[in-house]
Amino acid sequence: MIKNKMRKLARLGTALLLAILLPVTTLGAVPANSNSGQVNSPGSISLDKAIQIVKQNFDIPAELQEFSSAFDSSNDRKVWRLSWTAGNGNEGNFMAEVDANSGEIMDMHRWQGPGATGSKIPSISISEARQIGQKLLNQMLPSKSADLVMDQESSLIPLNNYGSNYYVSWKRTYHKIPVGVDQANMEIDRHSGEVLHFNLCWTNKKLPGPTGIISQKQAGEIFRNEEMLKLQYIFPSAVQPLKSEQKPPAPRLIYAIKHQSNAMIDAFTGEPVVAEHYFGGASGMGESTNKQIKLSAGRDDALSLSPEEQREVEKSASLITQSQAVEAVKKWVDIPDNMELRSAGLEKQWNDPALRTWSLSWQLNSKTSYGHLWAQVNAANGELLSFHLNLPPAESTTPAIKKEEAQQIVESFIKGIQPQRWNETTLYDSGLQDNYLENNTDNWSFNYLRLVNGALCPDDGIRVTVDAKRKQVSSYSLNWSQANFPSTTGVLGTDKANEVFLNIVPLKLMYTFVQKPGEQPQVKLVYYPESKDEVSMIDAKTGQALYRDGQSVSHKPQPYIFDDIQGHFAEKEIALLGQAGIFGEYGNSFHPDENITLRSLLKAMLTAKEGIHYTSSIDDQELIKHCQRLGWIKESPDLNGEVNRESLSLLMLRFLEIEYLTQLEGIYQIPYQDAVSLSPSSKAIAALTWGLGIIKADGKNYDPAHIVSRGEAAAALVHTLAVNTRP
């Protein structure tokens, strides 16, 4: 109580002091800091100066009449938070953060409320957006802009309304060396050129100069000697939940980094840098089918089931019951007597539809303390897959066991619950736990990775945590894939793999911030594999570069600069689609005069609507299904078939969702000479595409049966995207 009163008096005294020292305009904008319990003095930048700085760099919309401010202080960081809003129930706001010490704008965001969808074709180019961004950056950060290097690697232009603005980013360098996560980012409207968002991340810690460091060659030798690159099996990521008939992706044999240091090498000492890692995971608690099964029990038995429904019923009948699943948990976990089972659900795994699991949850029945147990059991064979037991903290005087004793408990537990798999694992020690218990952490964790054909399988293994005071296993997780692993015969040798990998992902200097257990974050100059576009591994047999999800680099969406469109009537439109990564069937050649196939046209349309990352690896079946859902096609057509002008016109109208206008026959006029010979529906289609500027044919005749070229289709698609539509 006395301490609380003293804090209140301190706040009051500081507030009175600020009232004397601060300009009147800043009062009421300086709240008490919730961390220290005291009011923090602003830096050298007053509130009125912060407002002026923002207005000098950005135009605040006149309709944003309501203004508020706040002041925040954390460690050595002092920030003015400024906000303009429309008020009176209107939408729109403008927010900015200004460093109260330097006067630099650190963050800005403007939102003007929802508006018309508008044309999807950019009014300014990416190069123009970059020029706008660079000019503003130089203006706002004259002392920092020289150290911020623009990232121009990604030049894909989206043509849909999702993430359709331009994003320009700069990375900080010091002595031309990248500095950790320090960067600046802008979001620029692709029509107006307005900057909609800005953010600056800048570390004020002193950086060591790159003198007296080891060479890149020496770093490479350390990389090899420490065996940082290891032969591994990975499972390529599934982009979407798998369907019942689908099997998980087959494992792939790769070389990738697996080392305590994550391949960070101290540039001064040459020692691997072991930083603190944070591990996290979701339990995948899906929708329970238990309720659904109970509801179906009272239905009329005469109702017929589809083959798929019947298969699901038969599969469910062969699974263990809830009570059997509970017993499977109790066999390995000492559940406290005052814990009650609160929920149980039978679910299908999204990445392995063949696997059904029971998810069980217990809660401690106590008003004075908390605790819970969550467990997952294989519903087919009763195998305990994982559990996590969270109990109230043990008495502070209870001694904690050492790492070696905890490891003995873990190994005894694994040998009991997984005797067959124990011999197929190897302990992966991150090297980070040795002084955890000195910092009030009461758990020891151990990760045993699966070995297949002598190669690591990091996605599979057994992870166990021991309560160091209670001397018992508090969590357990088993991941063990049922897959056919490819043979290691024919893989690159270790020396060759290191050579290929370091050519693709070379070691480069970088400033980073590392934190070891019990220590403050430190700035380190390190050699680190410089990954371009998330390339982080190689195929173990071919040496081909792979992304971190195991996919081939050749599948990556990329912009195209076509070399055969100069002088074509649709050169501009084709070039724009190339920048969006569309029509890349022939690489950097377009083949403008070649007849377009329905497959190419539908994929281009879908890419323009959903984005290049959705369609980059889409197969024919999914392409057809998606286009049917959108109402673009009615049946399952021949994707290799050619497209005539009327079909192209109709597809463009369906893209705009205005096909219903073609039902208004007899009201349209078109300037085509063959208008008299057109059917009423054809005349409506031709009139709409003419009036909207989508298709002008040859300027004389519509000729609905004309087979469309790739160039003509590209022009029609871009003109369709340029139509101003409403939300």
Q: Map residue 535 onto helix, strand or coil.
A: strand
CA distance 445 to 465: 4
Asked whether residue 626 is domain-assigned, the answer is: yes
Task: Give residue 556's pLDDT.
Answer: 75
296 falls within a domain: no
Q: Say how far apart CA 51 and CA 67 lie, in whole Å.
A: 10
Q: Report phi then psi at 709, rounded to 5.
A: -85, 170
With a cut of 80, say whether residue 522 has pLDDT above it.
Answer: yes
Last residue of a domain, one of 174, 201, 228: 201
pLDDT value, residue 110: 93
586 and 542 co-located in one domain: no
Q: Are residues 463 and 542 in the same domain?
A: no
Residue 294 inside a domain? The answer is no
Residues 598 and 714 in one domain: yes
| d(C-alpha 19, C-alpha 21), whole Å | 6
Do 135 and 101 share a domain, yes or no? Answer: yes
* 377: β partners: 358, 384
pLDDT at position 631 is 95
* pTM for this model (two decimals): 0.74
The DSSP string of 90-157 is: ---EEEEEEETTT--EEEEEEE--------SS-SS-HHHHHHHHHHHHHHH-TTTGGGEEEE-S----
Residue 34 domain-assigned (yes or no):
yes
Tens of pLDDT along 179-225? 988 999 999 998 899 999 999 999 888 999 999 999 999 999 999 99
By residue count, the chain amounts to 727
Whether 423 and 503 map to the same domain: the answer is no
Structural domain containing residue 40: 2-201
pLDDT tens-digit profile of 80-117?
999 999 877 778 899 999 999 999 999 999 987 665 55
120 and 172 together in one domain:
yes
d(Cα 247, Cα 619) in Å, to the nearest integer? 16
Same domain, 121 and 40: yes
pLDDT attached to residue 280: 25
Residues 232 and 268 in one domain: yes
pLDDT band at 535 (very low <50, low <70, confident <90, very high): confident
Task: Give the distance from CA 447 to its chain's centroid.
Answer: 26
- The answer to whether the beta carbons of residues 549 and 525 sit under 8 Å apart is no
Residue 91 shares a structural domain with residue 114: yes
pLDDT tier, 135 (very low <50, low <70, confident <90, very high otherwise): very high
Give, as one character, the DSSP assignment of residue 321.
P
Residue bearing tokens 């015969």: 489
Same domain, 399 and 457: yes
Q: 318 in a domain, yes or no?
A: no
Give domain status of residue 30, yes or no.
Answer: yes
272 and 166 both lie in a single domain: no
Residue 304 lies in a domain: no
Q: What is the number of structural domains in the chain?
A: 4
Residue-level pLDDT at 367: 75
Q: Are 357 and 385 in contact (CB under 8 A)?
A: yes
Give domain status of residue 112, yes or no: yes
Residue that finishes a domain, picked among 177, 201, 225: 201
End residue of a domain, out of 459, 479, 499: 479
On whether both 509 and 601 belong to a single domain, the answer is no
pLDDT tier, 311 (very low <50, low <70, confident <90, very high otherwise): low
